[in-house]
Structure 1
C-alpha cells in the first residue's frame, strides 16, 4: 500500500470516556523526535485533536505518546491573515477547515483554513519539519503559542526565531526544557508578545509584508539552542518538495516490509494503517553532533552524554507485541533502541518502565525484562551486551529505590511470601504475576550466559504465580500477609488487586508457563474455565475504581464475553486454546476479533497504546502470535489474507499462503512449512527469519488436532 493512502486519523475519534484508539494523527518520520498534528482546540487537554471538529488552531509540535501520559515540549504554529484584535483571547483566533478536504498522511499534512484563506502544509524531518504557507488574503501573520512557560529570541536579520519551551514538570529535573529554531524564507516586519491567561499561552505574533507564500524551516533539540540551530542548518538546502519526498520514501520502505494481497480491501488497508502505527514509538530522544554521532541529554544528571536514548514507550503494553514484531522486521533498529534503554538504566539507576521522556513509573511490573530477553534469545544482542543487561535486570529486580517509579517495589515481601500481600500493595495480583514473568525472563538471559545458579533461582521464582492460584474458581486471587485468600471475592470486580480489569482478564498472565498453569486446574479444568471466560456476559463491577473507567465501557461495547481485546491483558487470551485439545477455538476467535478493527477514525476496540494493539492485529492477520516474549516461539492462530510476504532484513522472504480463504472457512485443516507437514502449534523465530513458505489450508468445519506438539512453556 502506498503511504499516501494511509489516513493518520485512524482511531482518533476518542474521548476520556470511550476510546476508539486514543491515537493522534501523527505526521513525522518513523521513530522521529517530533510529530505534527492539527490542533482543533486551544484548551489545554490531551485530547487536542478531534476528527469531528472543523476548528483549526494551528500545527502542534507534539511528543504525546498517550493521552493518559500527556504532552510535553509542545507548541503551536498558527497562520492568520487580515486585521484582527491581536490582544484578544487566543480562542478568538481559531480558524476553520473542512476535514474531508484535508490531507492526513504519515509523510505529509495539508489543511486549508477557510477563515484565514491560508493553506498550511507540513513535510517532516527527523528533528523538525518544513512548513509551507500559501496566503490568499492580505496581512499574513504567524503566531507561535507555547503552553505554560516559554520565551522567544529574535535574530538581527528578522528572519529567525529561537524558542525555549518549558512545559513539562519533570519528576527528576526541575529545569527540563527544550529548544527550537525556526527560520523564515521572508523577513518579518513587526513582532508582538502576548500572554494569555485562559488557557495560559505565551505567544509571539510575527507580521509580514503582503506575501503569497512563506516557508518555515523548523528544528528542535532537548540539549541546547546551539544544537537546535545546528539541526536547522542541516535543512538549509532542503526545499519543501524534497523534504516531502524523503519522508514519503522513508515511510514506504517500512510499509513495504510486509506485502499482503486479498479480496478484502478494507482489511488490507487496516493492516497497513496498523503497520504505520507500529513504527511511531519509541521516539528518538538522541540527536546528532557535528560528526553525526549520537548524543543526548541526561535529565537525571543534567548533562549531555554520548550515545542513543529513546522516549515515549510503555513496556507493559509494547513488550507483548511490538518488540517481537521488531525482532522479525527491524532487528537493527530494535538493537539500537535497546542501547538507548540501557543508557536510561545507567542514568536513572534502573531499567525503564514507562519513558516520557524520563521515568513515569506507570503500570505494574518491569516488563522491559521481556523486551531484553526476547532480543537476547533471538540473537539481537551481543554476548557482552547480554551480560550488561543481566546485571541491570538483577539490580532492577532486587535493589529497591526510595522512588516507587523506579524498579520493583516490595521485593523483600515477594521473596518472603512468594507473592505481594494484598494488605500491603495495590494491584497485588498483577504485580505478582508480572514479577514472576520477569523472573522467567531473567532466567532465560542467565541461561544464555551459562549462569546456572542465577538461571535456576529465577526459574524457581518464576513459578510464584502458583501461590495466588485458587483451584476452586480457576482464577488468581489476592492473598494477605497471613496467607489467606482475600474474602468477599467477586470475579468481575475491577481494580484494587487487579490492573485495568478483573480476575477474568488478569488471571491468565502466566505467559511463560501456560502448560504449568493447566496442571493446577482441578474442577473446573483449564478448558472449562476458558470457555466460561469466553461465553459469559461482559459484566463488571467498578470495584476499586469507584466509577466506570473507559476500559469497562469498551469491553461491554464489543460484547465478546470477558475477552476484553480492548486492553493488553486480554491480548493472548484467544491463543490459550492452542494449549488445549481445541485449538480450533483460537482460530474461530481470531477470525471474529480481527473484525473489531478497521482503517477509520473508529478503528480500534480500545486504547492503541504505542503500537501494541496495531502489532496484535498484524500478528493475528499473519496467523501467528508471540504469547511468550522471551521465548523463540510464535503460537499459531489463523491467517487472514490470501497471501502475505515478510521481506526479511537478511534479504530473504517468508511467504504465507492461505488456501480456501473465505469468510465461512474459519478453521485450519493443515499447515505445510517448506512443503513438509507441520505438526507443531507454533513457529520458531529461526524458521521465520531464515525465510521459507508457510502454506495453510482452511476448512468449513474443524478436524481433530490431537497429538500435536504444544507451544513453549517453562514446564515443558
Structure 2
C-alpha cells in the first residue's frame, strides 16, 4: 500500500445539512499532535470546500469533527507584498486545484495572486514550511489566532514564540499552546495588526506583546525561504525541544521520506490485491483515515519520558495521554481493528484512559480536548473489555478498570459531562425513564456496559460480580414491546409512551429511529430472538428493516438532521449505515442463519455508497469509525460485539488480503470466482479444512494461516447449528477464549 496514492480531500465535500464524510484534508503523521489543512472559507467548523479554488491559509488544527469544533488553532497565510489589513477575504488567493498536492505526509500548492508556491511537511509536533516567490514583491507571512496570543520575537536565536490560551471545561481551566518558529539565518521583521485589523506597529525584538494577528516581512532579496515550527501543550521549552528533535535535525526531503515510511508501515499492516486496481487504491484512503485519531496529547521530556498536561488539575504529569476521540464512535470498529494490527497503540491509549481516570475519577466518553460529555452510555467500557478479552491488559489493569466501570454504573455523577446517565432510574425501574433524553439508547447502552463489566469479572474469576452484571446486562428487556417488536420509552410508572411510530426520530432515541435503536442488543441477539418469539419473526423484522421505505417523522424538534437525510437518500431501506447506531445492522441476518442476506447487503453498501471521491462516504466518518466499517466489511469480517473474541463473517471483496500481524504471522484471505456478479459465499476453508462457522475468533486470526473463500452467483443456503452462529450471552459460545 502506498501513501502517495492517497488524496486527503477524500470525503471533504460537506455542509452542516448533509455529510459526505465530514472529513478535513489532514496533512500530518499518524496519530499526530497537530494536523494541517487548507482553509478556504470562513466557516469556523466547515472551513474547507474541495470545489472552491480559493486559499485563505494553512490552518494548524485540532478539530476531530465539525460537530466538536476546533481549539488552539493557528492560520498561516503566505503572501507577497505587504498587506494593508488582516481580513481573510481581502487577502485570499485563488489556487490551482489540479496542480495542488494534498497528501497525508506532504502538501503543496501555487497561489495565483501572489505568484507563490508553498509547501508544508509535518512532524508529530511540528512542521517545516517552504516558500518560493515568483513575483517581484517581498515574501511575507500572516499569522492569525482566534482569541489573541502572546508573542515574543527572539533577536538572538531568530525565533518567534507564540503562546495561545484556550478555556476548557466548566471550571474554566486553561490549556496553553506554545509555538516556536525558527527562521534560521533569514532576516525578518514582525508587525502587529491593530484592533481595526490594519497593519500597525513593528514588534521590538525581545519584548512581549499580545495580539490576534501578525505580519512577518522577510528580507526583500529572499526568493526561497524555509522555516520550521515546533509546538507544545506544556511549555515554550518543550516547543523548542520538539522543534529541535523533530524538525530542525532534518531537511525537507528527509522529513518527507520519514513521513512516507511511517505512513506506509501502517498501511502495509493490511495489504489487498485485486484485478481492479482502483479498488486497491481506494482502500488506501480508508486506511489513512483510521490512523488519524485519537491524537497524541503527550510529549517527551529531556529524560526521554512521556509527560502530558493534566487539564483538570492544571499540572504536568508523567505518562501518555490521547485526545480527540469519541468512544461511542470508535469502540465499534477502530479499536477492534487496532486490537489486530496495532495492539501497542491500543495499550498506549488505555494508559491514557487510566491517567484520565486518575485525574477526574471518571472514565472518558468524548474527549476534545477535555470531556465533552456527549452521547449515551459509557462505551469506553467496550474498548476496555475488548482489550481485556484479547489479552492486551494484565489482571491488575483489569481490576482497576472493572472497579472504575462499577463506580460509573452505581454512582451517577453530579456533573452531567461525566459517567452514565440514568443510574438512579435504572436502580428504581430497571430502565432509564423518559425524563432522561435518549432514554431507550441509555438503557440499551448501559446494559451493554454492564455486559462489559461481567466480561472483565469473568476474566479474573470474580464469579459474584460476573453474575451480578450479567443479570444487569439484561435490563434492555424492560423496554421491549412484544406487540410492536421495538424497544420503546417508558415513564416512571412503567407505561409505554404513546403514540408510537417506528419511523419517529423522537427524543427517546439518539441519532436514530426505533428501527435502528431497537436492534442494539450487541451482546445477546439470541435473547432478542427469544423476545421476538423465534427466528422466523426476527428474520421477518430484519426483512422489513431492509425492504421498508426510508420513511421518517420528526417529533423531537421538527428538524431534519443530516443523519435523517442520509438514511433517506442512501437507498437501503431503514438500514442506517450512514451513522454508528446502524453499523451492525447488515450483519444481523447471520444470527438467524441467513448469512447470504448479509453478504449481499454488505457488498452492495460497499460498492454503492463508498468511493475515493470528495463525496466518498454515506455519512459522518467520525474519527475513523466509518472508514473502519468499510475496512472490516471489505476484508470479510466485522466485530459486532466488542468485548468478545469473535468477528462475524461477511464477505471478502478482494482477490487476496494479507493481515501482517505484529507477532510476525500473516493471516491471508483468498477468494476464488471473485467476479462482480458473484455476491455470495459458496464455501470456506481454514488452512485447508472445511470451515462452517459464521465467525472467526481473534486467536484464529493472530495465529496466522490461510482462509479460503469460494464465491458463487447464487447463495448456498443451508441450516446452521447454534455453535456455528456468532456469540450471544444466552448461548455463551466462546465469548472469551
Normalization by structure 2: what TM-score?
Answer: 0.95
Separation (CA, whole Å) in 1 of partners of 2:276 and 2:529: 38
Task: Confirm or deny that 1:438 pairs with 2:436.
Answer: no
CA contact (8 A) 2:166 2:174 kept: no
Picking from 405, 418, 427, the partner of 1:415 is 427
Match of 2:206?
none
| CA shift digits 1:17-36 (9 cap, x unpaired) | 11000000111110010001
Separation (CA, whole Å) in 2 of partners of 1:143 and 1:247: 27
Separation (CA, whole Å) in 2 of partners of 1:259 and 1:358: 36
CA contact (8 A) 1:364 1:430 kept: yes
Separation (CA, whole Å) in 1 of partners of 2:218 and 2:717: 75
Mark the CA change 1:690 to 1:309 in structure 2 (over 3 Å): closer, same or farther.
same
Q: How many Å apart are 1:527 and its aligned residue?
A: 0.5
Match of 1:267?
279
Q: How many Å apart are 1:186 and its aligned residue?
A: 4.0
Separation (CA, whole Å) in 2 of partners of 1:581 and 1:90: 59
- Runs of 4+ in structure 1 off by over 4 angstroms are 195-201
Task: Confirm or deny that 1:695 pairs with 2:708.
Answer: yes
Match of 1:485?
496
CA contact (8 A) 1:89 1:196 kept: no
Match of 1:26?
26
Separation (CA, whole Å) in 2 of partners of 1:241 and 1:681: 48
| CA shift digits 1:180-216 (9 cap, x unpaired) | 1111134343221114679998111111112011112
Separation (CA, whole Å) in 2 of partners of 1:218 and 1:94: 23
- Does the residue aligned with 1:164 lie in a helix, a strand or coil? strand
| CA shift digits 1:467-505 (9 cap, x unpaired) | 111111111111111111111001111130000111001
| CA shift digits 1:46-91 (9 cap, x unpaired) | 0111101111111110000000000001101111102442x36342
Match of 2:58?
59
Match of 1:139?
138
Match of 1:46?
45
- Does the residue aligned with 2:230 lie in a helix, a strand or coil? strand
Mark the CA change 1:411 to 1:198 in structure 2 (over 3 Å): closer, same or farther.
farther
CA contact (8 A) 2:173 2:311 kept: no
Match of 2:337?
325
- Within a 5 Å distance, the mapping from 1:59-208 to structure 2 comes to 59-85=58-84, 87=85, 89-137=87-135, 138-157=137-156, 159-195=158-194, 202-208=212-218
Q: How many Å apart are 1:158 and its aligned residue?
A: 7.0
Task: Confirm or deny that 1:361 pairs with 2:359.
Answer: no
CA contact (8 A) 1:185 1:214 kept: no
CA contact (8 A) 2:82 2:217 kept: no
Q: CA RMSD in A?
A: 1.6
Comparing 97-106 with 300-309, greater Cα deviation is found at 97-106
Q: How many Å apart are 1:707 and its aligned residue?
A: 2.5
CA contact (8 A) 1:73 1:168 kept: no
Mark the CA change 1:230 to 1:33 in structure 2 (over 3 Å): closer, same or farther.
same
Task: Confirm or deny that 1:578 pairs with 2:590.
Answer: yes
Match of 2:482?
471
- Does the residue aligned with 1:73 lie in a helix, a strand or coil? coil
CA contact (8 A) 1:583 1:705 kept: no
CA contact (8 A) 1:374 1:631 kept: yes
Match of 2:659?
646
- Within a 5 Å distance, the mapping from 1:158-557 to structure 2 comes to 159-195=158-194, 202-210=212-220, 211-234=222-245, 235-422=247-434, 424-522=435-533, 525-557=537-569
Q: How many Å apart are 1:219 and its aligned residue?
A: 1.1
| CA shift digits 1:642-685 (9 cap, x unpaired) | 11000000011000001111111111111111111112110000
Separation (CA, whole Å) in 2 of partners of 1:96 and 1:157: 37
Separation (CA, whole Å) in 1 of partners of 2:263 and 2:105: 7
- Does the residue aligned with 1:466 lie in a helix, a strand or coil? helix
Mark the CA change 1:559 to 1:196 in structure 2 (over 3 Å): closer, same or farther.
farther
Separation (CA, whole Å) in 1 of partners of 2:507 and 2:579: 17
CA contact (8 A) 2:426 2:432 kept: yes
- Does the residue aligned with 1:545 lie in a helix, a strand or coil? coil
| CA shift digits 1:435-476 (9 cap, x unpaired) | 000000010011111111111110001001111111111111
Task: Confirm or deny that 1:627 pairs with 2:666.
Answer: no
- Does the residue aligned with 1:230 lie in a helix, a strand or coil? helix
Comparing 188-197 with 408-417, greater Cα deviation is found at 188-197
Comparing 426-435 with 255-264, greater Cα deviation is found at 255-264
Comparing 132-141 with 10-19, greater Cα deviation is found at 132-141
Aligned length: 713
- Does the residue aligned with 2:213 lie in a helix, a strand or coil? strand
- Does the residue aligned with 1:14 lie in a helix, a strand or coil? coil
CA contact (8 A) 1:587 1:637 kept: yes
Mark the CA change 1:530 to 1:673 in structure 2 (over 3 Å): closer, same or farther.
same
CA contact (8 A) 2:173 2:314 kept: no
- Does the residue aligned with 1:291 lie in a helix, a strand or coil? coil
Normalization by structure 1: what TM-score?
Answer: 0.98
Which consecutive unaligned segments of at least 5 residues does structure 1 have? none
Match of 1:616?
629
Separation (CA, whole Å) in 2 of partners of 1:559 and 1:218: 47
Q: How many Å apart are 1:169 and its aligned residue?
A: 4.2
Comparing 595-604 with 151-160, greater Cα deviation is found at 151-160
Mark the CA change 1:591 to 1:293 in structure 2 (over 3 Å): closer, same or farther.
same
Separation (CA, whole Å) in 2 of partners of 1:401 and 1:84: 52
Q: How many Å apart are 1:143 and its aligned residue?
A: 1.1
CA contact (8 A) 1:113 1:119 kept: yes
CA contact (8 A) 1:176 1:299 kept: yes
Separation (CA, whole Å) in 2 of partners of 1:168 and 1:549: 29
| CA shift digits 1:554-611 (9 cap, x unpaired) | 1111111000110011100000000013221001101101021011111100000000
- Does the residue aligned with 1:175 lie in a helix, a strand or coil? strand
| CA shift digits 1:377-401 (9 cap, x unpaired) | 0001112111111121112222221
CA contact (8 A) 1:118 1:136 kept: yes
